[in-house]
Structure 1
């Protein structure tokens, strides 16, 4: 993990995946927001992709990122609703070694304060796999702002107390030296 020069905050290596049948790089405001927010907080965005809402394509991309030695966090936006095409939870759950139940619970709480009972239609979820934290949130830019500002910004900050997820992530320095 890289340590920032101005603070003792560790810069994490993050990948961003947008799940959508309609988004392109030109109109992917949610994925772009997550990328920009991560960079603004001193993290490195190693990869950003868009895939259609197909659980096998989603799973393939995220599986590769979990296996990669240089990715510590995966942020997924989209595919967490209730339509027939929304398959992000079904794609992700088999990959998790441990679920982060509190992410979805807290997301819905923070979201409830913003949008009321409509938050019950969110299937936001999180999990850990191979030292990689995976956070899946709805596809709207507003939901990504809620997740980042209300939860992820602090939990991906190595200086946040009393605890954060950074200590649970794979150490990039150790991974790259495994020759």
Structure 2
């Protein structure tokens, strides 16, 4: 079973938060606020925050920019993961991914099933890696952001989490790009 190994030191990671919305501004960004509050309370660093419209090319460009920034380890997006015609965040993420973390969406669905039942099938939460950076696309509701952080990300982004976590393999994410 998973646990926190208190004998290990906590390692803060630098996290950027991108809210995807055609209608919200900073004063109405409750989902972004949830993520920022949780990541900073956990001891991580907010590296950047931005709100942009549901435009696939703009989202992908922002993900590429942030994933190429050595000061950002993780990118969390919220919004645009549903089924409507304007929901293009997942497609933008997949335009950028080098590798997809397939189980992230599966585990998120399992967590969501316990909270909202079969409505969980409407989410297309996803995760992946690009340029040595983790990227996670979360639904736009504050509840879904809380669930993703509390049940998955808070553990996987904690170096002390056992038996394994995302932080401990972070230095190896781009090893295929290094010279031998």
Decide: shared fold, TM above 0.5: yes
Q: Distance in 1 between matches of 2:137 and 2:131?
A: 17
Q: Helix, strand or coil for the counterpart of 1:26?
A: helix
Aligned length: 166
List aligned pairs for 1:71-110, cutoff 5 A. 71-110=72-111
Match of 1:44 in 2: 45
- 8 Å contact kept, 1:15–1:45: yes
Dislocated runs of 4+, deviation >3 Å: none
Match of 2:170 in 1: 169
Q: Distance in 2 between matches of 1:131 and 1:46?
A: 16
CA-CA distance at 1:130 after TM superposition? 1.2
Q: Helix, strand or coil for the counterpart of 1:107?
A: helix
Unaligned runs of 5+ in 1: 1-6, 172-179
Match of 2:15 in 1: 14
Q: Helix, strand or coil for the counterpart of 1:58?
A: helix
Unaligned runs of 5+ in 2: 1-7, 173-180
1:134 equivalent in alignment to 2:135: yes
Q: Distance in 2 between matches of 1:83 and 1:111?
A: 19
The TM-score with structure 2 as length reference comes to 0.89
Q: Helix, strand or coil for the counterpart of 2:27?
A: coil
CA-CA distance at 1:60 after TM superposition? 1.0
Q: Distance in 2 between matches of 1:74 and 1:169?
A: 13
Q: Distance in 1 between matches of 2:145 and 2:49?
A: 15
Q: Distance in 2 between matches of 1:165 and 1:154?
A: 9
Match of 2:32 in 1: 31
Q: Helix, strand or coil for the counterpart of 2:26?
A: coil
- 8 Å contact kept, 1:11–1:43: yes
Q: Distance in 2 between matches of 1:131 and 1:162?
A: 22
Match of 1:143 in 2: 144
CA-CA distance at 1:169 after TM superposition? 2.2
